[in-house]
Amino acid sequence: MGSSGTRPRQVAVIPVRRTEDGAVEVCLIRRKTSTKWGIPKGYIGLGHTHARAALAEADEEAGLGGCIKSDMIGTYEYKKGLFRLTVAVYVMEVTEERTTWLEMRWRDRRWCSIEEAGALLRRHHVWPLYDRVQPALSTILRTPRPEPPSGIEPESH
């Protein structure tokens, strides 16, 4: 059986966003033919950094754009055919959600609370790392949302 050793051959990203009311949501994806939810994941292209590859997977599989502002939260391994692959996992702050994307014909995406996402990922290989999402969120989402521009005061009646 082949092994990737400790060097990750794939990357995955846990996409998060803050809603208007300040709640944090996680975006999960699944194949339209499956009931299992997961996260965007794929191979690291030749010459790509882990961050660039992770962002590309989020774009292709979920139609999401954004940035990775924290270190890798960990790795997990899974078996694919005869190979055991190591996957580096990052948390991504979502700044853009497209209505159309490359794999939309084959994949669904779903926004849910951190708790609901955790429940849906309980049987996923990333589950042992999921408790590390909260500390990463403090780094990613610590900057407050920008206030709308001021200058024109509302009229008082």
pLDDT in tens, 35-52: 999 999 999 988 999 999
User: Is residue 149, in this structure, part of any structural domain at all?
Assistant: no
Does residue 76 carry a pLDDT above 70? yes
pLDDT at residue 8, as a whole number: 80
Distance in angstroms (rounded) separating the CA atoms of residues 15 and 13: 6
Domain assignment present for residue 75? The answer is: yes
Domain count across the chain: 1
Return the pLDDT at 137: 79
Question: Residue 4 contacts by C-beta under 8 Å, 6 or more apart in sequence?
Answer: 77, 83, 84, 85, 86
At residue 119, the 3 state secondary structure works out as helix
**Tens of pLDDT, residues 104-140:** 999 999 999 999 999 999 999 999 998 888 888 776 6
pTM across the whole model = 0.83
Residue 147 within any structural domain of the chain: no
Task: Give the contacts of 53 (CB within 8 A, at least 6 positions apart).
Answer: 11, 42, 43, 44, 45
The answer to whether position 110 is within a domain reads yes
Whether 128 is in a domain gets the answer yes
Does pLDDT of 155 surpass 80?
no
Q: Is 80 helix (H, G, I), strand (E, B) or coil?
A: strand
Which domain, by its residues, includes 46? Answer: 2-140
Domain membership flag for residue 106: yes
In a domain, residue 151? The reply is no
Residue 116 falls inside a structural domain: yes
CATH number, domain containing residue 58? 3.90.79.10
Using CB atoms within 10 Å of the CB of residue 39, give its burial: 0 to 12 exposed, 13 to 18 middle, 19+ buried: buried
